[in-house]
Amino acid sequence: MNHTAHSSTGSDMWQQYNPETGPQYARIGIGAVRAMAAAATTTASGIGGHSGYQHHSRGHGGHGRNDGSSIRPSQPRPGSDGGRAGRPARTSTTMKSTEIVTSFLRDVESDKILILRRSSKVRSMKMLWAGISGIIEKGEKPLTRAKIEIFEEVGIAECDIRLVRTGDAMHIISPQYRNHMWRVYSFLFETRSPEITLNWENSEYRWIDTDELDSYDTVPDLEKVLLCLL
């Protein structure tokens, strides 16, 4: 077994002991040590160029070495997405869309707007106030679906309503479903002294002035949909 220790002759003298041959001495000058260190540094960093890594100085709050700096790759590794090693590459997310109608009835005599409170039996937006809404079936025209929903939800036939205005289709992000939005087709109808008969989809109704709507807990952007019809 070899043993190495400092010699008493100075810091540049090392003693190596071998059981078979006895002590052996080798003197390494300080100048030679410095030259070897400089050569090693030059080799590690690459001669006359960069090794693909760059030194970046950071301010307060940075991470890395304790001297306030860090070493990072100058460019992402081939085949990577620039993120951490082992992470899958990001993929684009497809937003799903459902087409629906939302209609408002206005009483000709009082000039009030009808709103409905969705029941606890529906799948979404439970207990929130809304217009008369429904999902458009495949191949169906929005206006056709709007008239069907009015009859189903409040019991007013097509012959007792008159179309006043059609709003521009708009997109509303769904707060209940991830990566989903509603494409809303809106309509404003007039009717005279209607008798309202609710089905299971709604639990109550109100005739209100348009400026009262913001005091109700409604489905998303209901006021925005109504304003585009006025």
Quick: pLDDT tens for 24-55. Answer: 444 445 555 455 555 544 444 444 433 333 33
- Nearest-angstrom CA–CA distance, 133 and 221: 13
Q: Which residues pair with 5 in a beta bridge?
A: 15
- Nearest-angstrom CA–CA distance, 155 and 172: 28
List pLDDT tens digits, range 123-143.
989 999 999 999 999 999 999
Token digits for 36?
Answer: 């070897």
218 neighbors 117 (Cβ within 8 angstroms): no
Give the burial string for 173-201 (b: 16+ CB within 10 Å, else e).
Answer: ebeeeeeeebebbbbbbbbeebebeeeeb
Nearest Cα neighbor of 143 from 154, 153, 158 is 158
- Provide mean pLDDT across the span 51-75: 39
What is the predicted pLDDT for the residue at 92? 57
Confidence check: pLDDT of 202 > 60: yes
Q: pLDDT exceeding 70 applies to what percent of the chain?
A: 60
What is the predicted pLDDT for the residue at 177? 77
List the domains of the chain with CATH numbers.
1-43 (no CATH), 96-227 (3.90.79.10)
